[in-house]
Amino acid sequence: MATNKTLLMLPGDGIGPEVFNQVRRVVDWMAKNRSINFDLKEGLVGGACYDVHKQAITDETMQDALDADAVLFGAVGGPQYDNVERHARPEAGLLRLRKEMDLFANLRPAVVFDALLDASTLKPEVIQGLDLMIVRELTSGVYFGEPRGMQDYNGVERCIDTQAYTKAEVERVAAVAFDLARKRNSRVHSVEKANVMETGIFWRKTVTELHASGGYQDIELAHMYADNCAMQLMKNPKQFDVIVTDNLFGDLLSDAAAMSTGSLGMLPSASLGAADENGQRKALYEPVHGSAPDIAGQDLANPSAMLLSFAMMLRYSFGLLKDADMVENAIQNVLKSGIRTGDIMAPGCTQVGTTGMGDAILAELDK
Ligand code: GGG
């Protein structure tokens, strides 16, 4: 299937470019073997952009992202930028993309591959068959709330972040979670801290009302405090089907859920905007992991999360279901054959680096 769709590639910093190189190889493979041809554009983001332009993303790249049919993103950040002011820090590039593209729903699937049951710190019987979806609100909450920053508070130095949600912001992300659950196992856990936070009470009330009056009564809805959810993800993650939660809790809980899958290097994500009249959504796909400066440049990173994000893009943005399955199956088969990167290494397996993992996945695609 030929496409004339534009794909903006933003590798970013640290291990971002390394894992991205493996996606480029699969993009080339798709063009050669499946006649899937994207119009590829590339841009700088994060520290890589700061180094050149003294900002985390330029207006031109931002416009390219708005014009693209999908954005593929690597990772941003690094200790060398710790003292850069907040608006120019690497993470500001990612936050601007999310905000200006209005990517309010961040889908973070945590799926345990049978081949990796030995890679998790959790017992195999607790995680076998796990397939849960965290829906993280991505364009509001404490990441964006105002006021924020330093204050003079009656002569005392004080720093503020603000957690704020409108009803519409909670409703639209909850609707995504309910709609997804309907295609899965029809269960949603809405997660907040309604015992201590005003926004938690508001979140719970809004989700409950939408469930009752928005045509979602066929979906089983449960509410859970975020601290309990973190514990339950370690104790009995299979109780969950879809979890919907705010920006900060979603970030924390998806990292916790990653431990079931064996490594943060296994978690992809899709960040989606509202559907237009043709059902198309603005979308950015990125691994959940960050730039991992401690292992950057050493060919050690696991490219699976990046490649699984690419597969999500094929499925969600371009409807290329068969090709998405091909990429996911290739990764699973490589893992089954015992080839592993260091983060998911287990006795009896063969350790490879980022490129070696890419080689094995391409060889599997060739079969
Ligand atoms: N690929 C994910 C990444 O680069 N994350 C770095 C980052 O800016 N994280 C902020 C967040 O998602 O909360």
Find the CATH number of the domain harbouring 50: 3.40.718.10
CB 273 within 8 A of CB 103: yes
Closest CA to 116 of 341, 353, 327: 341
* For the chain, percent of residues with pLDDT exceeding 70: 99
Residues 91 and 65 reside in one and the same domain: yes
For 48-54, what is the mean pLDDT? 98
- Indicate whether 128 pLDDT > 70: yes
- Indicate whether 2 pLDDT > 70: no
Dihedral of CA 335/256/268/301: which sign? Answer: negative
Question: In which residue are the tokens 């983060």 written?
Answer: 343
Ligand-binding annotation for 281, yes or no, is no
- Categorize the per-residue pLDDT at 4 as very low, low, confident or very high, splitting at 50, 70 and 90: confident
Closest CA to 78 of 67, 96, 91, 68: 91
Indicate the residue among 228, 261, 294 that finishes a domain: 261
- Categorize the per-residue pLDDT at 316 as very low, low, confident or very high, splitting at 50, 70 and 90: very high
For 211-235, what is the mean pLDDT? 98
**Complex ipTM value:** 0.92
Closest CA to 192 of 157, 230, 220: 230
Residues 245 and 134 reside in one and the same domain: yes
Indicate the residue among 261, 284, 308 that finishes a domain: 261
Give the mean pLDDT of the chain. 96
At residue 335, the pLDDT reads 97
Q: Which amino acid is at 228?
A: N
Mutate to test the pocket of ligand 1, among 91, 143, 284 (most ligand atoms within 8 A of CB): 91
- Give residue 251 CA to ligand 1 midpoint distance, Å: 9
Starting from the edge strand earliest in sequence, which strands make up the sheet with 270-275, in order? 39-42, 6-12, 70-75, 281-285, 270-275, 105-111, 131-137, 242-245, 187-192, 220-225
- Indicate whether 3 pLDDT > 80: no
- Indicate whether 140 pLDDT > 80: yes
The C-alpha angle 151, 50, 27, rounded to 5 degrees, equals 125
Our answer on whether the CB atom of 237 is closer than 6 Å to any ligand 1 atom is no
Closest C-alpha to ligand 1, atom 11: 251
Indicate the residue among 261, 278, 294 that finishes a domain: 261
Mutate to test the pocket of ligand 1, among 73, 94, 309 (most ligand atoms within 8 A of CB): 94
Closest CA to 248 of 161, 123, 348, 366: 161
Domain residues for the domain of 214 are 120-261
Please report the DSSP string for 256-311 in residue order. Answer: HHHHHHT-GGG---EEEEEE-TTS-EEEEE--SS---TTTTTTT-S--HHHHHHHH
Our answer on whether the CB atom of 268 is closer than 6 Å to any ligand 1 atom is no
Q: Is residue 163 part of a domain?
A: yes
Residues 135 and 198 reside in one and the same domain: yes
Question: In which residue are the tokens 């237009």 written?
Answer: 276
> In total, how many domains does the chain have?
2
For 83-107, what is the mean pLDDT? 96
Residues 124 and 218 reside in one and the same domain: yes
For 271-291, what is the mean pLDDT? 95
Task: Indicate if 193 belongs to the active site.
Answer: yes
At residue 56, the pLDDT reads 98
Q: Is residue 114 part of a domain?
A: no
Closest C-alpha to ligand 1, atom 7: 91
Give the span between the Cα atoms of 25 and 35, in whole angstroms.
Answer: 14
Residues 25 and 72 reside in one and the same domain: yes
**In this predicted model, what pLDDT tens digit does every residue of 57-89 receive, in sequence order?**
999 999 999 999 999 999 999 999 999 998 999
